Amino acid sequence: MALDRPVPLNSLGLPKAPSETRVVVAMSGGVDSSVVAAQLAEEGYDVVGVTLQLYDHGAALAKKGACCAGRDIHDARRVAETMGFPHYVLDYENTFREAVIDEFADSYLAGATPVPCIRCNERVKFKDLLNTARDLDADCMATGHYIQRKMGPQGAELHCAADAARDQSYFLFSTTQEQLDFLRFPLGHLASKAETRALAAKYGLPVADKPDSQDICFVPNGDYAAVIEKLRPGAADPGEIVDIDGNVLGEHRGVIHYTIGQRRGLGIGGLADPLYVVKLDPDTRRVIVGPKDLLSTRTVPVREINWLGDAPLTSRTEWEVEVKIRSTRPPRPAMIRPITDTTAEITLMTPEDGVSPGQACVFYASEGSRVLGGGWIHRG
């Protein structure tokens, strides 16, 4: 009697034929997720495209340069029609407002600098949408993010994208191990965005030349303050600009217009040395300014840690890693000193300027491309 041979893994790492593998593709309407859906459809997978409507359609229709607006829903649908797979639009407006927009506004009012795209991935796309994918009997969910999922000795690992210029690991640090087991990122190995656009042209997709989104999707033209003032009336109340000794130097037009490290636009010229925003105090509506050296930080308190290392975070007293405290900055050597499973103190080997509460601190292995998770910077 012939022995049963193991079924070879398909391109998504599953022991099934592509035609028997259902993949839900999160489609934003942009070129990246469209290429993922088209590529998997061409390979013979049972593709189901899903697009989230995240905020008011009427307001979105006239807005370009952001994901999930009315135009983008239309574009995602056209791609599905071109490639011949089903496409659904899910109304996630209430979820998005409660899980992302409200916290964004409240964080800004508290003097923090939030990163809503991370919360959207964490609370909407990789939680609610992923659960929807399971409800649709999907074997996995694929996205157009530039990040890599690799199999290691202890299971799926998160790694930076091959193209450092497109890497989105900073925005995906909160992906849990359970989510990582179910997710796939087919674009993470590509060397450049030009390769993605070439694939879009190859498949004849109507979005092949569509520009990349730039803004946060619910913040038109990058004007955070205008959105927050609309969400939280009175948020732009004026107050005092003071130095570190409390001396009043001028008046500001609302704490929400300022960020830690800001130098320009303070309206307090005529000083011998430039001053920078070193602290925001929303309770007293004060913007505190000081010399640049006050911005330098070596100790960063972090909470809500998502740890993706092989051993538990608290299994060591310290971890030698590299960390990123802004999406636009390269990783720098640091030491993680765990306090609990979800809190730690990060010591930067070289001081950084402008470390701001509300930003993410993302952990990377000292060698190689592995992402070890991260947490949220808060006031110590």
Domain boundaries, the chain: 18-221, 236-294, 296-377
Q: Which CATH class is domain 296-377?
A: mainly beta
Selecting among 68, 160, 217, 361, the annotated active-site residue is 217
Lowest mean pLDDT among 3-7, 162-166, 315-319, 332-336: 3-7
Assess contact for 129 and 27: CB atoms under 8 A.
no
pLDDT of residue 258: 85
Q: Which CATH class is domain 236-294?
A: mainly beta
- Give me the chain's average pLDDT, please: 89
Question: Which residues neighbour 293 within 8 Å (Cβ) at sequence distance 6 or greater?
Answer: none
Task: Please tell me whether residue 253 adopts helix, strand or coil conformation.
Answer: coil
Average pLDDT over residues 165-178: 95
Lowest mean pLDDT among 20-24, 57-61, 92-96, 149-153: 57-61
Angle between helix axes 70-83 and 31-42 (nearest 10 degrees) is 20
1 pLDDT higher than 90: no
Tell which wins on pLDDT, 127 or 184: 184
Closest CA to 30 of 215, 177, 171: 215
The DSSP bridge pattern shows strands 344-352 and 147-152 to be unpaired
Assess contact for 22 and 5: CB atoms under 8 A.
no
Provide the b/e sequence for 298-334 (b: ≥16 CB within 10 Å).
eebbbeebbbbbeeebeeeeebebbbbbbbeeebbeb
Average pLDDT over residues 300-307: 97
Claim: this prediction has a pTM higher than 0.85: yes
| HEC-encoded secondary structure of 17-66 | CHHHCEEEEECCCCHHHHHHHHHHHHCCCEEEEEEEECCCHHHHHCCCCC
pLDDT of residue 220: 66
68 pLDDT higher than 70: no
Lowest mean pLDDT among 84-93, 196-205, 248-257, 340-349: 248-257
Tell which wins on pLDDT, 360 or 7: 360
65 pLDDT higher than 80: no
309 pLDDT higher than 80: yes
199 pLDDT higher than 90: yes
120 tagged catalytic: yes
pLDDT digits 0-9 by tens, 243-302: 999 999 988 888 888 888 888 878 776 667 888 998 888 888 899 999 988 888 899 999
pLDDT of residue 107: 85
366 pLDDT higher than 70: yes
- What is the C-alpha R_g of the chain? 23
The DSSP bridge pattern shows strands 360-364 and 370-377 to be antiparallel
Selecting among 67, 68, 117, 120, the annotated active-site residue is 120
Q: What percent of the chain has pLDDT over 70?
A: 93
Average pLDDT over residues 176-200: 95
pLDDT of residue 255: 84
Tell which wins on pLDDT, 80 or 233: 80
Q: What percent of the chain has pLDDT over 90?
A: 57
Average pLDDT over residues 14-18: 96
pLDDT of residue 175: 96
Q: CB 7: neighbour CB atoms within 10 A? A: 11
217 tagged catalytic: yes
Average pLDDT over residues 330-351: 96
Assess contact for 138 and 131: CB atoms under 8 A.
no
206 pLDDT higher than 50: yes
The CA distance from 1 to 17, in Å, is: 24
Task: Please tell me whether residue 103 adopts helix, strand or coil conformation.
Answer: helix
238 pLDDT higher than 60: yes
60 pLDDT higher than 60: no
The CA distance from 168 to 220, in Å, is: 22
Q: Does domain 18-221 have CATH number 3.30.470.10?
A: no
69 pLDDT higher than 70: no
Residues 260, 264, 266: CA angle, nearest 5 degrees? 80
First to last CA, the chain: 68
